[in-house]
Amino acid sequence: MAQRIATEYVKAKLQLTREEMIRFVRFFDEQQVRLHVKVLDNGSQEVVLEDRAGREEIRFTFEREEELYVCVLSCRLLHPGLTNAMRKAVMTFKGDAIVRRIYSHYTMIYHYESGMVRRIEEKNDAGLRLVFQYKDRLGELERQFREREVERRIERLQSRINELLDLRNGACSAGEVQGIDRQLQICSHQLFVLEA
């Protein structure tokens, strides 16, 4: 199995509420990582993570933006302790990130959106190759169902319009014709909306 040389966070972004910020600090304590938090003048926070051996550190600066703490960072990690803790943090706190896992002859590029891996690419001397692409199968099925539901409603409206036209042709009085015309007007408007 190939040995990973480094993990590079090209761009990572975390947006945390106050409660999530507290959980974020606790989370890294559970990951066996040393943690130092410094509160800055404007309410922003600087979090420094260090692996237990003291070989490597990550510095997060969370800027206070209204009700959120926002951190955008880039870093290169060499040791597994901080690398794994950072990967878990991005997933747990629904971060967005582009992560390069660098090996001797190739690089794997992971694209995270809201804490989930959405795409994985392999880059080597031959070029870039797509390894995985997230497809929202459930969302696609829901969209198809909704589209079919609209089609069914259109068919029901068209049947109702045909019935009303038959009634209009057989109507005896002007009052009946006016009542049927009002219903036809409502149905034709609904049909117009659904077909748009």
Q: How far apart are CA 159 and CA 41, in angstroms?
A: 69
Q: How far apart are CA 17 and CA 128, in angstroms?
A: 37
pTM, whole model, 2 decimals? 0.70
Looking at residue 139, what is its pLDDT? 79
Mean pLDDT value of segment 50-65: 89
Contacts of 69 (CB under 8 A, 6+ apart): 15, 16, 17, 18, 20, 21, 44, 45, 62, 63
For 22-48, give the DSSP string: HHHHHHHHHTTEEEEEEE-TTS-EEEE
Task: List the domain boundaries for the chain.
Answer: 4-134, 138-195
Percentage of the chain beyond pLDDT 70 is 99
Tokens coding 77 = 């990690």
Looking at residue 88, what is its pLDDT? 95
Looking at residue 149, what is its pLDDT? 78
Separation in Å, CA 177 to CA 16, 55, 150, 174, 186: 63, 88, 29, 5, 14
Query: Yes or no: is domain 4-134 CATH 3.30.70?
Result: no
Query: Residue 140: exposed, middle, or buried by beta-carbon count in 10 A (0-12, 13-18, 19+)?
Result: exposed
158-177 pLDDT per residue, tens: 898 899 888 888 888 888 88
93-133 pLDDT per residue, tens: 999 999 999 999 999 999 999 999 999 999 999 999 999 99
> Does the pLDDT at position 1 exceed 80?
no
Q: Where are the alpha helices (DSSP H) in the chain?
A: 18-30, 80-92, 137-169, 174-195
Mean pLDDT value of segment 31-49: 88
79-90 pLDDT per residue, tens: 888 999 999 999
> Does the pLDDT at position 66 exceed 70?
yes
